[in-house]
A and B are shown apart, each in its own frame.
Chain A
Amino acid sequence: MKALCWEGKGDIQYEEVPDPRIEHERDAIVKVTSCAICGSDLHLYDGFVPGMKKGDVIGHEFMGEVVEVGRGNKKLKVGDRVVVPFTICCGECEQCRRGYFSVCETTNRNKELADKMFGHGTAGLFGYTHLTGGYAGGQAEYVRVPYADVAPVQVPGTLTDEQVLFLGDIFPTGWQAVVQCDIQPTDVVAIWGAGPVGQFCVRSAVLLGARKVIVIDRLPERLTMALAGGADVAINFEDEKVLARLNDLTNGKGPDKCIDAVGLEAHVTGSIDSMMDRAKQAVMLETDRPHVLREMFMACRPAGVVSVPGVYGGLLDKIPFGAVMNKGLTIRTGQTHVNRWADDLLRRIEEGQIDPSFVITHTVALADGPEMYETFRHKRDGCIKVVMKPDGHAHHTGNGHAKVRP
């Protein structure tokens, strides 16, 4: 079959790889009908996530049709249409039973490696590093889904791929980031990053009833999309001083809740400290560029909540932890516990509360994936979210740009 493979920093290739097979009786094989590129994939692309190997099949946002089911799998049958959450979970361990699926204690088959890196390993993830199990990913024609009797979400035929695909990652991610903030009707919420995750944070904050939603980015097309989704104020950090503006907007108190939807690759020339971080990364004195964390800790209202869906990988410098401690901030973070929210969010899509397809700007054939990594990476051509079709037929969506390669 064909798949997108990681061949090194900045090098994604559309390659022929062996077809996946059932390896365990709870497995299923899914024929992918749609998959997407995530901001997390960019961290792999840019070489900031340790534990990648050449030839790894990448991608963790995918859905499709079940074409084969292991003997012990009582939940799925051939022909089922499923969205597959990016977190692989067993459903039985203590963390899974708590609903903390992204820290499942059984599905990471490289737990020892991860224990060394993070103190304790976390759940297995599709198409990500070997620190999270090194499972082949979903930017492919077929995927082997381990523990397939737990996470996959069955979706009705009345909804399109585009409407349900993001149930596997970015919609629940934006939702959990906001839920973790425990939104009150009086809250001012500030969201850093208006990428796909930031966009779902904005809509979740609106649905969950925040008084005022502020979004921060530098790309006008993303800020406009955030305003369309109900954000009240957009701050372009290249044109304005973020901290000063946030204080102006809150009578000097600071936002009650702050969300980092940017992660470890804060824009290099966005600030002096990010440039210093970039230099330290080059000489291996630091792994991440945590500008947004620094800014949030300074901005957040005392006793407020800082929620971090943005991904970080290793060691961070010059974090104003004095501000965190003295202001009594609560920090909540983590890979998303997708299954905790997916059914409820599916219901909301069915009821017409939200249609997640708004975020798709590019639909292409999987073969065009390598080129689209470049486009998404450099935010060219108004690119916000790329959906790929392994069968080669691109479907035009919204006023985005569709490319077809038969």
Chain B
Amino acid sequence: MMTKAIEPVRHAGSRGTAEIMAQGLGLFSIALGAAELLAPRKLARALDIEGQERLLQAYGLREIGTGIGLLMNDRRAPWMWARVAGDVLDLATLGAAMGSSRRREAVALAIGSVAMVTALDIACARALSQDSQHEERWYPDYSDRSGFMRPAEEMRGAAEFETPPEYRASLKTSEELPRTPNAANRTD
């Protein structure tokens, strides 16, 4: 009979995925920050918010700050929440620009993208915070709950059930014997 294998659980939580996501968002932060810092005029023109270049550069510095914070720290959750706060600021600024800008489509597109990133930041920040809470998780042992009267191994194939015709599958085993002769050409 086959051996049973269950991997011991090192930690409950999903540090891995949220961590990878946080690193990605950190890099994204730095790239976006650099663009705001180095090319504020271009950005301001695209959104028709000329005169706000200084503000954009300040936002750029903020982005780079949180980006570095995310990449350099082991405890990323607070930095992730800082990103969320920054997103809210960005959204407020873009919202205000919506009223005055002559390039509303560009502003609307920017709002849409920031909203998507915000949602991602929130999901990531939540996951990171949850992980630190649920490091130790108690769970009961259900290894005696088979649902069978006899050992599970003895129940294999015990149903004696014929698959209804409309649920027969296309996959026929070639290396092993089909259940009935000529099954490959079965038409029923």
A contact residues vs B (CB 8 Å cutoff): 179-187, 199, 203-204, 206-210, 212, 218-225, 227-230, 232-236, 238-240, 256-257, 267-272, 274-276, 278-283, 285, 301, 303-305, 328, 330, 332, 348, 352-359, 361, 382, 384, 398-400
Contact = CB atoms under 8 A, between A and B. Distances in A.
B127 interface: yes
Given A279-B123, A283-B119, A348 B159 contact: yes
A227 B143 contact: yes
A283 B119 CA distance: 7
B115 to A, nearest CB: 5
B1 to A, nearest CB: 9
B171 A305 contact: yes
5 contacts: A185-B157, A238-B12, A275-B17, A275-B127, A382-B138
A169 to B, nearest CB: 16
B188 interface: no
Contact of A182 (B142, B148, B167): B167
B123 A229 contact: no
Interface stretch (B3-11, B41-49, B52-60): B3-11
A233 B171 contact: no
A233 B169 CA distance: 24
B18 interface: yes
Nearest to B168: A182
Contact of A353 (B16, B152, B155, B168): B155
Contacts of B7: 234-236, 239-240
A280 B119 contact: yes
Contact of B159 (A209, A303, A352, A358): A209
A338 to B, nearest CB: 15
Contacts of B147: 199, 203, 228-229, 354-359
B142 A239 contact: no
A221 B157 contact: no
B170 to A, nearest CB: 6
A185 B179 contact: yes
Given A208-B161, A305-B169, A382 B139 contact: yes
Interface residues of B, number: 61
B4 A232 contact: yes
Interface in B136-151: 138-149
A173 to B, nearest CB: 15
A283 B152 CA distance: 46
B112 A283 contact: yes
Most chain B CB within 10 A, of A180, A224, A239, is at A224
B6 A223 contact: yes
Given A256-B171, A276-B120, A230 B20 contact: no
Nearest to B141: A224
B14 interface: yes
Nearest to A274: B17
Contacts of B155: 203, 206-207, 230, 353
A272 B12 CA distance: 17
Contacts of B18: 269, 275
A221 B167 contact: no
A115 to B, nearest CB: 25
B156 A209 contact: yes
B168 A227 contact: no
Contact of A229 (B139, B149, B152): B152
B115 A283 contact: yes
B171 A304 contact: yes
B96 interface: no
B73 interface: no
Interface in B1-47: 2-7, 9-10, 12-14, 16-18, 20-21
A343 to B, nearest CB: 13
B167 A230 contact: no
Given A185-B179, A225-B143, A353-B155, 15 more contacts: A184-B171, A184-B173, A184-B178, A185-B157, A218-B12, A221-B140, A229-B146, A230-B152, A257-B169, A267-B14, A269-B130, A279-B123, A357-B147, A361-B142, A382-B140
